[in-house]
A and B are shown apart, each in its own frame.
Chain A
């Protein structure tokens, strides 16, 4: 097993980095460490990234040296989290006005739009982490054949609920924002509600399936 690198990020955070190639096994280990570290005193926030984990702590109360040792120890002893996250189905309307770039993805991949929908809905994706905006999932598991470069001109506004492909990633925009991903569909599911607990529909470790509720070709 490769040894992770633990680096300071200013006086109030540490990053544990597992290496340059992302693996699910590393990610599962990080989820297990995240759950432990959330209980440590003076730790304020734990942010899983892509095969890394950042912890934020109170710089006047915590001992960073001790936290670093605990992180290292947690990495050495944490079992790969066998517990799988919840299974969540995401209904999607593919194509038409809901997925204005489906044609573009078809052109780039050489696959028929119906085949793209078939492949996009065939996979069980894993939420590696949530970042960028509240509830935005970084999903692992996109069929490599569907990979399509981002648009050369990002849209000024991507509507909330848009399902897109950006390079070899796929995801859903919880809120309207600028964005450069190729939009292939739209889901009416609300991914973020600050009045709910937890406030986001998806969490790291959850397993996601896209279900075509309608395909407009």
Chain B
């Protein structure tokens, strides 16, 4: 068990997200940085899609009320376990009574705490993710608050194999160490309404840098930059949207839809951020910049394949941690 002693403002239980229910208006939810979630999970012997805590804002503090194998992935929150620095991407044994503290994020925006066995909040509509808008899933359908107790699922391997393992870690994908004073390159496939925008808008979209505004949240990342103008009125009938879609409302400032985005929308779609780049976008800090880089679906799939290969290598290396897995 884990007890929340001090909660940051936006911390919630998230797994890989919810699918198969979009036709009923039910959004995807799930970790914004799926790569960090997956790695943290694998480091403790979990399947990559298991439920973890997504931390967005510190500082926060939690206490382990039983022994657990833990790992942190994602942003650097200057974490400590009983006052001793706890590295990211490290699998360690936390003991009953120990305190994990996360300070303000030093680099990146979101950190994931995985525990061996995963957090076993109720499976609702196929996922343990918190749907913050509709208020269900995860821990009581809401962000974590002081005093909450989260229970940990059962291990699918003998406890001893997990608990006796020494501390170890992996190297994270290089973008976690990127210099965030430089614009972050984000690959985009032009969207269905790309040709409705003016030539000047096209030029600005690819060549200018875009700043992530603090009005951004888990539903959408709002960007500020030059106004993107549309050639003619483009009244679209409502249609399905998904995370990564870049909508341009009439004011001309793009919004990148993220995991909690509504299922349908009506604004013109100038592009779609490729799946492989959503994780790094999730770590962009407010008021930092990004630059869009054009690519196509073949390159997008190749990028996803490469990321998956890296995850598979970690999973293969973790096999000794869960030898009984069938």
Enumerate chain A interface residues (CB-CB to B < 8 A): 7-13, 15, 17, 20, 22, 34, 44-54, 56, 59-60, 64, 129-136, 138, 174-175, 177, 192, 194-195, 198-200, 203-204
**What CA separation (Å) do A174 and B26 show in the bound complex?**
12
List the B residue with the shortest CB-CB distance to A132: B262
**What CA separation (Å) do A9 and B190 show in the bound complex?**
8
Minimum CB–CB distance for B183 against chain A, Å: 21
Contacts of A64 in B (CB 8 A): 297
Contacts of A49 in B (CB 8 A): 237-240, 264
Select the residue from A54, A131, A174, A177 with max chain B CB neighbours within 10 A.
A131
Contacts of A50 in B (CB 8 A): 237-239
A44 touching B19 by the CB < 8 A rule? yes
Minimum CB–CB distance for B182 against chain A, Å: 25
Partner of B274, one of A10, A51, A129: A10
**What CA separation (Å) do A61 and B274 show in the bound complex?**
16
Q: Looking at chain B, what size class is its interface with the partner chain?
A: 35 or more
Partner of A129, one of B244, B264, B297, B304: B264
**What CA separation (Å) do A177 and B239 show in the bound complex?**
20
Please tell me if B191 contacts chain A, counting CB pairs below 8 Å.
yes
A133 touching B262 by the CB < 8 A rule? yes
Contacts of A131 in B (CB 8 A): 25, 238, 240, 262-264
Partner of B242, one of A13, A52, A133: A13
Please encode chain B, from 248 to 290, with 1 for each CB lying within 8 Å of some chain A CB and 0 for all others.
Answer: 0000000000000011100001001111000000000000000
**What CA separation (Å) do A20 and B304 show in the bound complex?**
34
Please tell me if B301 contacts chain A, counting CB pairs below 8 Å.
yes
Q: Sort A-B residue pairs by CB-CB distance and give the 6 closest, nearest first.
A: A54-B240, A131-B264, A47-B240, A10-B272, A50-B237, A49-B239
Enumerate chain B interface residues (CB-CB to A < 8 A): 19-27, 124-125, 131, 133-137, 189, 191-192, 237-242, 244-245, 262-264, 269, 272-275, 297, 300-301, 304-305, 308
B23 touching A45 by the CB < 8 A rule? yes
Contacts of A194 in B (CB 8 A): 124-125, 131, 134, 136-137
B19 touching A45 by the CB < 8 A rule? yes
List the A residue with the shortest CB-CB distance to B244: A10
Contacts of B269 in A (CB 8 A): 9
B304 touching A60 by the CB < 8 A rule? yes
A198 touching B24 by the CB < 8 A rule? yes
B297 touching A199 by the CB < 8 A rule? no
List the B residue with the shortest CB-CB distance to A56: B242
**What CA separation (Å) do A90 and B269 show in the bound complex?**
35
Minimum CB–CB distance for A111 against chain B, Å: 27
Minimum CB–CB distance for B66 against chain A, Å: 29
List the A residue with the shortest CB-CB distance to B300: A11
Contacts of B300 in A (CB 8 A): 10-11, 59
Select the residue from A34, A45, A133 with max chain B CB neighbours within 10 A.
A45
